[in-house]
Amino acid sequence: MRMGSYNYYKMFGCFNRKFKISESEPPPDVKEAFWRYSAGAQQMTAEQLLKFMVQHQEEYNCTAVDVADIMRHVFHRRHHELEMPSLSFTLEDFFYFLFQDDLNGPINPQVHHDMTAPLHHYFIYTGHNSYLTGNQLSSDCSEIPIAKALENGVRGIELDLWPNSTKDSVHVLHGRTLTAPVPLFKCFKSIKEHAFVKSPYPVIITLEDHLTPNLQARVAEMAIRIFGDLLYCPESGYTEDFPAVESLKYKIILSTKPPKEYLGSNHSKEGETSSPKYKDFSDDETEAESEADDKLESDSDYEDYDNCGRTSGNVAAPEYKRLIAIHAGNAKKKCLRQVLRVRIDRARRLSLSEQELERAASLYASDVVKFTQKHLLRVFPKGTRVTSSNFGPIIAWMHGAQMVAFNMQGYGKALWTMHGFFRANGGCGYFKKPHLLMSKNSNGDVFDPKLPWPVRMTLKVVVYMGDGWRLDFSHTHFDTYSPPDFYTKIYIIGVPLDAAKCKTRIIEDDWAPYWDQEFTFPLRIPELALLRIEVREHDRSDKDDFGGQACLPVSELRPGIRAVPLYDRKGRKFKSVRLLMRFRFE
């Protein structure tokens, strides 16, 4: 045979290998479960499937009606017929059902946390610079990313408010950058239209206000006109204790620093502040700006939250002040501990940069946790993250910070973690904080994540197999002449002592890889742990290819054999790619 013919034959043979797709076989555990619950028969009845769901999958609320619906869905999808001759499953039906993530997913798709606790008892899905379409320096500002974030379940939206060039209208943009502005009214309208598409629970709008009193009055007028009765405005003008989340359903909440006064004698024209003392920076101010501001303001500036009306001059727009339901501020570096320890009778929000949070957590962690037992703490990315990258959120969560503000327009492993965390509780954007973060022990001490906690739970994970890449990817996406070589990496993200990682073996030349490997994870603080899954395709000559990822809160995992859907790099769910896994707690 000539060499050219040989190469042609070899290439043709490889293409045959690539396109040869065999039906996936049920893993032994699936077969064993079917024979056990069907009592060795060839068909599993609805009553037997119900027994499997309650005993094996531990879905104690599953009913005969639920099982009948499952069977009808499976029959319609597999056989494309509307009428099911009998409510029973073959082994193939049973296996098909277990691989359907909408029927047999890894977490509860419904809201199931207690939603009657006050607002600060919850982690809140929060965005940072929610109006940006890309990087932090030169991307366009738009209402479109706001709508997208809300439709994905985000409940905290941040808007930076600045005067336009003629100082007669309000623009939203990232100040001191080249970002192109978007009119505020477009952002407000987008929020109104999309606020409750994904979740009925409240949307908090964080306003970074760089406006004069006249423009603040315009913001108030605009908010009232667009949001109307959706706005939550406490009667007293401030909140002594945060209301219950359940009572705030379908409400929009404004949060910002209450406006400071502009002194008439020094205020010559609109747009000029009265004196350096009243210079206000956004929560995202640089360290240099913060240091300069420290020289101008006293260590007690945390009290400036409520300084409105204490001096003479042009009083700030009263209607604007009335609409601010959550009073907020940011702490200066040199008085951070004082701010955290101050005893005040009004519930409010404090903003810290990721560096300030790390410093506070390192030096006085208990003060941070105590603060979050009464107030809201928002943590935002450092200013050098110009590409819209994000930081690891776990350090903020394990110190009780409710509003970890993320750049939702970017992507990366930190954002995968954020997406996964808020798939909890039906994806409603509110995750009830564990009791250990909201309580004190008999000595009056709060939770300390640095303490050597004992193992309180063991999670056992079996990775059986995966499928769906052949439907969602081109046949040449991973390898030009052969099927892909998949492996799965498993991570535990949580307090430092719980962090772990492992991986399956590589399965060569298979579009439906079968691993059947078990991994054991001892956990000390399972309430704050996440299971991160990443599938890679092994490449001998280059970097391994990405094949999908998922992140799931351990506290939300449902025991039993489950279908785990995978997501792309930007957090979009693949149509077909999923893993079959088993979760067991001991």
Q: Does a structural domain hold residue 109?
A: no
Nearest C-alpha neighbor of 330 from the set 394, 255, 418, 386: 255
Domain-embedded: residue 311: yes
> Does 126 lie in the same domain as 64?
no
Confidence (pLDDT) at 22? 62
Q: Which two tokens stand for residue 234?
A: 């406490």
User: What pLDDT, on the 0 to 100 scale, is given for residue 141?
Assistant: 98
- Which amino acids are annotated catalytic? 128, 174
Whether 392 and 474 map to the same domain: the answer is no
The label of the residue with tokens 């500002």 reads 141
- Give the contacts of 76 (CB within 8 A, at least 6 positions apart): 82, 84
466 shares its domain with 431: no
Residue 562: both structure tokens together = 């489950």
CATH number of 203's domain: 3.20.20.190
Q: How many domains does the chain have?
A: 3
CATH number (domain holding residue 41): 1.10.238
Residue 334: predicted pLDDT: 58
Measure the CA–CA gap between 192 and 199, rounded to whole angstroms.
13
Predicted confidence at residue 344, as pLDDT, reads 73
Residue 316: the pLDDT is: 74
Q: How far apart are CA 16 and CA 10, in angstroms?
A: 10
The pLDDT, as a whole number, for residue 343 is 73
Note whether residue 444 is domain-resident. no
pLDDT of residue 299: 32
Q: 561: domain CATH number?
A: 2.60.40.150
The pLDDT assigned to 20 comes to: 53
Is the same domain home to 63 and 193? no
Q: Are residues 197 and 48 in the same domain?
A: no
Domain shared by 345 and 417, yes or no: yes
Q: What is the pTM of this model?
A: 0.89
Domain finish residue from 64, 98, 132? 98
**190 and 81, same domain (yes or no):** no
**Co-location of 92 and 125 in the same domain:** no
What residue ranges of the chain have pLDDT lower than 50?
1-16, 262-283, 285-314
Matching residue, tokens 């940069």: 353
Distance CA 173, CA 426 (A): 32
Tell me the backbone φ, ψ of residue 161, rounded to 5 degrees: -105, 125
Q: What range does the domain containing 493 cover?
A: 457-585
Q: Is the domain of 214 the same as that of 322?
A: yes
Q: Are residues 514 and 415 in the same domain?
A: no
Any domain includes 360? yes
In a domain, 304, yes or no: yes
